[in-house]
Amino acid sequence: MTDDKKKSSPVEKIKTASENLRGTIAEGLRDAATGAIAEDDTQLTKFHGIYQQDDRELRAERARQKLEPAYSFMARVRVPGGRCTTEQWLALDSLAQQYGGGALRITTRQAVQFHGLLKRDLKATIQGIDRSLMDTFAACGDVNRNVMCTPLAEQSPVHASALHWAQILSDQLTPKTGAYNEIWLDGKKVTSQESATAESEPLYGPTYLPRKFKIAIAIPPHNDVDVFAHDLGFIAIERDGQLIGFNVTVGGGMGATHNDPATYPRLADVIGFCPPDQVVAVAEAVITTQRDFGDRSERKHARLKYTIDDGGLDWFSAEVSRRSGYKFQPSVEFKFTSNADRFGWQHGTDDLWHLALFVPSGRVVDRDNQRWSSGLRAVAEIHEGDFLLTPNQNLIISGVSATARERIDNLLAEYGLDLWKELTPLRLNAMACVALPTCGLAMAEAERYLPDFMDRVAAVLARHKLPGDDITVRITGCPNGCARPYVADIGLVGKAPGRYNLFLGGGHAGQRLNRLVKENLDENAILEHLDPIFGRYAAGRQDNEAFGDWLNRAELAA
Ligand code: SRM
Ligand code: SF4
């Protein structure tokens, strides 16, 4: 818990002095002498969904030429529950073509990222996003971020209700400062005096949260959102086909630092059940408890999971009850079976059809024989429903009439986008984070390495006559865990170029952390390590037993 005598971290000081997230961002944008903004402001733009980056592959050459790094910006668009209209998609696509190198990136949290935006184009991009009734505000930073929800509300009335609550949570928990409006949308400037009163942040206070905060809603049996990886989670409980409330989970988080045992991935605990009308009060109580007790001196120890481990789950739960005014009811039984997406056409409660497409690592860009930008644009131009972003970086074309299905299928085939038909579940369910060249924290490749690695894993599996359908592989370029590698059957976590820590035995439904089995391996060593294990798995698995579950039962537990 917070010790008042501890020194606040530098980021806390920046937030305090920022006048509700303004800092000198506006001035920095006007400075044409550099492609960067002031260092303190790089912390503040995160709250506006914008990260300053530079192309790491050009660093050495630019330094040799005595040039400043090739600065550019990543902007993350919030899409609560992953639902956007085709008009919105077309607007994002058009901005990507104009300013973002022709690419969009669907993230592991149902959001959309632009990469490579130049400082001079940032405002125009944000204004274009705003015109499509979307924003990047609070997509990053020490606040509640994009609220996730199992997509496709048309699967059942429970799915529709869950999305409704995701959108309410998203609205209620967005910060109130006018800084975003003022800086990016040329909104009215608020004077310091006004900002103290009209603009107070009733939920967050002037220094916001000690660290990022994430919420997900899951609908059993699908744990596609990986609810246990979130600071706060809601597991939908149904009776007679209707939502009756949620089991509440707290304290999940993936981030860790290599060789620092004080940091660790942690799965959330279920603390009880609440009816739907208590969801907002519970979320606010969890957030204010973290706001008041979270560690503001050491950012590596500032996530909610550490606040809970330091204070104890009972204390935390009682504090949330006290603040919300609601006592949790006992949790209700639930069962998750998978944390993957389900590909292909599904029929919805609306009597329309919905097609879940595999998008490799969520990267929407035209490549030789897979023209994702052009193909999805062509679909969006004739499609009357929505595009839904999944928590595994994929996309659902939602709301297609029976008669329009063939046309969509033909378009997807024409642009090379029907990969879900030909790839195996092993490949379809594998995930990698962005990593190099844009991520400033990457220690190894992830997204660019995943296809090669999966080919090699498939070859080793084939030797043991295993299709690998029950194996989830996730790779990240560093231990921060952006592709949630610590809940995968097989997790590779970047240590250095070409080298990874190998984690095995995660729960196939995201319900169990895997374990570190070997450190700092290159590809050959990883495959050599996996080969005999796959052999034993082939011989010893029970019917449909997922790799991580078998491994945990048969080997790791021993
Ligand atoms: Fe992440 C930081 C990308 C989901 C844990 N993450 C970053 C940054 C912004 C790097 C930075 O701080 O400079 C990465 C930008 C790379 C780039 O060039 O785009 C980045 N994170 C991503 C995305 C785009 C990965 C992807 O391949 O899709 C995901 C965007 C999600 C979104 O739309 O909001 C993404 N990040 C996650 C997740 C998964 C999740 O939330 O379900 C996690 C693990 C869960 C968690 O939060 O514990 C995650 N990202 C982190 C961390 C570690 C936080 C911690 O508690 O230690 C960092 C580093 C940090 O915050 O200091 C980080
Ligand atoms: Fe970057 Fe690490 Fe996140 Fe991958 S896991 S995107 S390398 S911060």
Q: Which one, of 349, 354, 356, 374, lies nearest residue 364 by Cα?
A: 374
145 has catalytic annotation: yes
Quick check: CB of 482 below 6 Å from ligand 2?
Answer: yes
From CA 14, how far away is CA 182, in angstroms rounded?
A: 19
Q: Tens place of pLDDT for every residue, the chain, 558 residues? A: 444 568 999 999 999 999 999 999 999 999 999 999 999 999 999 999 999 999 888 999 999 999 999 999 999 999 999 999 999 999 999 999 999 999 999 999 999 999 999 999 999 999 999 999 999 999 999 999 999 999 999 999 999 999 999 999 999 999 999 999 999 998 865 544 454 445 789 999 999 999 999 999 999 999 999 999 999 999 999 999 999 999 999 999 999 999 999 999 999 999 999 999 999 999 999 999 999 999 999 999 999 999 999 999 999 999 999 999 999 999 999 999 999 999 999 999 999 999 999 999 999 999 989 999 999 999 999 999 999 999 999 999 999 999 999 999 999 999 999 999 999 999 999 999 999 999 999 999 999 999 999 999 999 999 999 999 999 999 999 999 999 999 999 999 999 999 999 999 999 999 999 999 999 999 999 999 999 999 999 999 998 899 999 999 988 766
User: What is the structure's pLDDT at 6?
Assistant: 80
**In the β-sheet with 363-364, what is the strand arrangement from edge to edge?**
50-54, 71-77, 112-117, 104-106, 363-364
Q: Distance between CA atoms of 14 and 299, rounded to whole angstroms?
A: 13
Catalytic residue list contains 515: no
Extended beta strands in 87-196, E state: 104-106, 112-117, 148-149
Rounded CA gap, 397 and 419, in Å? 14
- C-alpha to C-alpha distances, 201 to 188, 214, 290, nearest whole angstrom: 18, 18, 15
Structural contact between residues 226 and 487, judged by C-beta atoms closer than 8 angstroms: yes
Angle in degrees, 0-180, between the axes of helices 405-414 and 372-382, rounded to the nearest 10: 160
| DSSP symbol at 556 | I
Residues 165 and 71: their CA atoms lie apart, in Å, by: 38
Cβ–ligand 2 distance for 444 under 6 Å, the answer no
- The per-residue pLDDT for 196 is 46
Average pLDDT for the chain: 95
Q: CATH: 1.20.1250.20, 3.30.413.10, 3.40.630.30, 1.10.10.10. Which one for 143-177+187-339?
A: 3.30.413.10
Contacts of 367 (CB under 8 A, 6+ apart): none
Pocket test for ligand 1, best of 42, 48, 53, 108 (most atoms within 8 A of CB): 108
What is the chain's percent helix, strand, coil content, to nearest 5?
A: 40, 20, 40
Q: What token pair was written down for 377?
A: 């644009």
Max Cα-Cα span within the chain:
72
- Catalytic annotation present for 140: no
pLDDT of residue 186: 86
Contacts (Cβ under 8 Å, ≥6 apart) of 162: 149, 150, 153, 217, 219, 234, 236, 243
User: What CA–CA distance (Å, rounded) separates 29 from 123?
Assistant: 8
Active site residue 76: yes
CA angle 371, 376, 382 (to 5 degrees): 135
Structure token pair of residue 433: 């984070």
- What ligand 2 atom has the least distance to the C-alpha of 483? 5
Per the structure block, which two tokens stand in for 357?
């497409």
Rounded Cα gap, residues 350 and 397, in angstroms: 14
Spacing, Cα 289 to ligand 2 middle (Å): 28
This prediction has a pTM of 0.96
Ligand 1, CB cutoff 6 Å, lining residues: 51, 53, 74, 76, 107-109, 111, 113, 145-146, 212, 214, 226, 229, 253-255, 303, 393, 433-434, 438-441, 480-484
Q: Quick one: which ligand is closest to 107's CA?
A: 1
What is the reported pLDDT for 558? Answer: 63
The ranges assigned to domains in the chain are 50-136+343-422, 143-177+187-339, 427-553
Output the residue whose Cα is nearest ligand 1's atom 8: 439
Classify 226 as helix, strand or coil: coil
Q: Per CATH, which fold does 427-553 belong to?
A: Sulfite Reductase Hemoprotein; domain 1 (3.30.413)
Q: What is the DSSP letter of 454?
A: H
Of 63, 39, 42, 67, give the one whose Cα is nearest residue 52: 42
What is the C-alpha to C-alpha distance for residues 76 and 48, in angstroms, rounded to an integer?
Answer: 9
3-state secondary structure of 115: strand
- The residue assigned the tokens 């039962």 is 553
| pLDDT tens profile 90-142 | 999 999 999 999 999 999 999 999 999 999 999 999 999 999 999 999 999 99
Architecture of the 50-136+343-422 domain: Alpha-Beta Complex (3.90)
Under 8 Å CB-to-CB from 386, ≥6 apart: which residues? 83, 84, 85, 86, 398, 399
pLDDT at 87: 97
Question: Do the domains 143-177+187-339 and 427-553 sit in the same CATH topology, yes or no?
Answer: yes
Q: Do 11 and 40 touch, CB atoms closer than 8 A?
A: no
- The rounded distance, in Å, linking the Cα atoms of 505 and 526 is 15
**Per-residue DSSP letter, 370:** E
Q: Give the number of the atom of ligand 2 that is nearest the alpha carbon of residue 434.
A: 6
Q: Take atom 37 of ligand 1 and give the residue whose Cα is closest.
A: 482
Q: Is 105 exposed, middle or buried (0-12, 13-18, 19+ CB in 10 A)?
A: buried
Which residues, listed in sequence order, are joined to residue 215 by a DSSP beta bridge? 232
- Smallest CA-to-CA distance from 68 within 77, 83, 58, 78 is with 58
Query: CA–CA separation, 169 vs 147, rounded Å?
Result: 7
Which of 137, 158, 173, 208 has its CA nearest to residue 280? 173
Atom from ligand 2 closest to the CA of residue 442: 7
Indicate the SS3 state at residue 12. helix
- Classify strands 363-364 and 232-239 as parallel, antiparallel or unpaired: unpaired
- 149 as an active site residue: the answer is no
Peptide bond into 437 cis (omega under 30): yes
- In what helix (H) or strand (E) does residue 452 lie, and over which residues does it extend? helix 450-463
Q: What is the pLDDT of residue 2?
A: 45
Active-site residue (options: 291, 474, 478, 495)? 478
Calculate Rg over the CA atoms of the chain.
Answer: 23
Q: Going by C-beta distance under 8 Å and a sequence separation of 6 or more, which residues neighbour residue 521? A: 499, 500, 501, 502, 529
445, 436 in Cβ contact below 8 A? yes
Instruction: State the distance from the centre of ligand 2 to the C-alpha of 306, rounded, in angstroms.
Output: 21
431 lines ligand 2 (CB under 6 A): no
Ligand number nearest to the C-alpha of 431: 1
